[in-house]
Structure 1
Amino acid sequence: MPNAPQIEPTPRRMEFLAFPDVQLLDVAGPFQVLASANRLLEQAGQPAPYALRVVSPVPGPIISSAGLTLLADPLPSPDQPLDTLIIAGGVGVDTAYRDRSIVDWVGQRAKVARRVKSVCSGAFLLAATGLLDGRRATTHWSRCADLAAEFPAIQVERDPIYVKDGPIWTSAGITAGIDMALALLEADLGRAAAAAVARHLVMFVKRPGGQAQFSAGLELAGSDATFDPLHDWMKRNLRGNLAVPALAEQAAMSQRSFVRHYRQITGTTPARAVERVRVEAARQALGETGLTIKRIARDCGFGSEETMRRSFLRILAVPPHAYRERFPV
């Protein structure tokens, strides 16, 4: 590791909280980032900066949702010294965050830790403790609406790969835990150390773009299906007239009533919804076909490549050509 940083003599204690049906990569991904930092620094003649440990309310063999087994230590006493608590997610989190004993342990452990981080849906466990109340946070894009609905005191952000609000960090879906671990590493040991680990793992030090680039669904209607038929019609008529008068007519409503009800139900305006439908269609075409960007812009109703480019930047934070480079056919 070039320009190896000076490491504190006592390694930082890092605990990964796991549970039955945990998402394997939520644990293994961040764990490997920190383990790689240990190895590279030891090769440079320096002490390992991290003491890594997986703990669980069900100690011993834990079967992950992928079917692979992890070996975990029992939960330590919550008052033991700790640098960082990292909470994994996965389908098992829905049981874990409703278990008062686990939630209480996380809350007490967080008081001792210098910082607390959640990976993917692990944010639900943090939320259940109240630690996220009044803070910005994120989780997997498919569960952002659930997190916001169940814990309205949280300012849920849908697009970031990870969010840091004071000593509390939350990350988006699964592999975003690796991005967050690299950011943690950079905060602890500097950018050179994070870059060395990223090179070793063959990945970005800081991944460009947000998780909107990976979202497969628009979720315009949420739990209300009122405008589902309209959305289906919009997708079939991308090159047609999708102005408010045409949409209101298709919905069999007056324009004023349509605009009011649409915003109440979907949380966005008809114009923004049309833009999102067109961006989603173009996103799929870029990743699944070899059509030119010009042809895709025309087929999706943008009218010009420049109009599509502006929409992509606004919604996905990346231009169409860059999106295609990351998600080639």
Structure 2
Amino acid sequence: MLKIGFIVTPGFPVMSLAALSVFEFANISAEKKLYDIQVLSEDGASIATVAGTGLETTAYGSEHFDTLIIGGNTRVVPSSPKLIAFIAGAAKNSRRISSICTGAFALADAGLLDDRRVTTHWLFTDELKSRFPKIRLEANRLFVVDGSVWTAAGNSAGIDLTLCMLENDYGYDLARSVARILVVDYRRSGGQPQLSALFQINPKSDRIQTALAHVRRNLQASLSVEDLARIAGLGPRQFSRAFRNETGLSPAKAIESIRIEAARLMIEQSRHSVDFIANETGFGDQERMRRAFLRVLGHPPQVVRRMAQVDPAAR
């Protein structure tokens, strides 16, 4: 039986506990206790959620855990010396040490994130990077696994993180079964962006919006900077500069993001072949699309499709 320790701090959101449901239903599905789950705090007192309800906890101390998870909060909570010491000790004795949302700050305070690939909720990425410049921040990822250190973005991403842990511990079939019980996707890849391309790429000027609307309607076209600049009524250099200023991306990177999102949705929601989808979304061939998926989503198209295939009853 694997012991899971989950640390909470005063004012934590109830949703952060959703990650523990994966372990809870793994026990139910397996009809035996695969995981022993303990909710921990510094003093072992009743800890109030942001909604004001209380949660009974156990004080952390010398006990060892297979997996220690630092839960998130609605704000960055200062790490006490006792917490830092406990996390540092757990890093030596635990197989995995993890964080959800702002829990990454506690791992960083304990010195565990230097030179590691990590993520946190997009609301806190700038603060995390400025306070801990040695980390290798992957700001727009649902979760990141770097050796024994696992970090998740927001509270819903904690479910994806623990499903991945479950799969590593007991295999794909049990993890997929638990995802079906929880009525969640099995499972969003760690590389999937926190925010969709359509949400992120939101320019203010009518000219850039017109160019992007053309992109979304014509994904099969070559979509050169010259063509988009002409549609926007600007010169190519002026267009590229204005596009980057308004979106934070180059035109080429924005086009790729929109193509990946369109292709991912077609792969998850249709039965079209990968070749057909690659042509429809402008990648041209499946190898080019495969490389883009691996780089951005962390999985090739076939794996994305497999993870989206659930029983009609589960839908």
| TM-score, length basis structure 1 | 0.63
Counterpart contact for 1:106–1:126, Cα < 8 Å: no
**Structure 1 residues 248 and 186, CA, compared in 2 at 3 Å: closer, same or farther?**
closer
Give distance in 2, aligned partners of 1:110 and 1:253: 57
**Structure 1 residues 113 and 22, CA, compared in 2 at 3 Å: closer, same or farther?**
farther
Matching residue of 1:244: 225
Counterpart contact for 2:143–2:191, Cα < 8 Å: no
Matching residue of 2:313: none
Q: Is 1:120 matched up with 2:101?
A: yes
Q: Is 1:234 matched up with 2:219?
A: no
Question: Which one of the candidate residues 9, 17, 23 is aligned to 1:34?
Answer: 23
Q: Residues 32-111 of structure 1 correspond to what in structure 2 (within 5 A)?
A: 32-39=21-28, 43=31, 48-57=33-42, 59-65=44-50, 68-74=53-59, 76-77=60-61, 79-91=62-74, 94-96=75-77, 98-101=78-81, 104-111=84-91
Gaps of 5+ in 1: 1-10, 288-292, 294-301
Counterpart contact for 1:120–1:173, Cα < 8 Å: yes
Q: Is 1:20 matched up with 2:47?
A: no
Measured after TM superposition, the shift of residue 325 of structure 1 is 8.4
AA partner of residue 199 (structure 1): S
Matching residue of 1:199: 177
Give distance in 2, aligned partners of 1:112 and 1:252: 60
CA deviation profile, 1:29-75 (whole Å, cap 9, x unmatched): 32x3323344555x45xxx443321112464333334555322223x
AA partner of residue 55 (structure 2): L
**Structure 1 residues 182 and 286, CA, compared in 2 at 3 Å: closer, same or farther?**
closer
Q: CA RMSD in A?
A: 4.8
Identity percentage of aligned residues = 30
Count the aligned residue pairs. 291
Give distance in 2, aligned partners of 1:248 and 1:148: 34
Question: Which one of the candidate residues 140, 144, 150 is aligned to 1:163?
Answer: 144
Gaps of 5+ in 2: 311-315
Measured after TM superposition, the shift of residue 266 of structure 1 is 6.1
Matching residue of 2:195: 215
Give distance in 2, aligned partners of 1:38 and 1:87: 21
Measured after TM superposition, the shift of residue 132 of structure 1 is 1.1
SS at match of 2:155: coil
SS at match of 1:176: helix
Counterpart contact for 1:84–1:113, Cα < 8 Å: no
Question: Which one of the candidate residues 144, 160, 182 is aligned to 1:179?
Answer: 160
- Greater displacement, 101-110 / 276-285: 276-285
Measured after TM superposition, the shift of residue 195 of structure 1 is 2.8
AA partner of residue 159 (structure 2): I
**Structure 1 residues 198 and 68, CA, compared in 2 at 3 Å: closer, same or farther?**
farther
Counterpart contact for 1:36–1:197, Cα < 8 Å: no
| TM-score, length basis structure 2 | 0.66
CA deviation profile, 1:206-230 (whole Å, cap 9, x unmatched): 5254564662466768xxx9x7436
Matching residue of 1:3: none
Give distance in 1, aligned partners of 2:233 and 2:178: 58
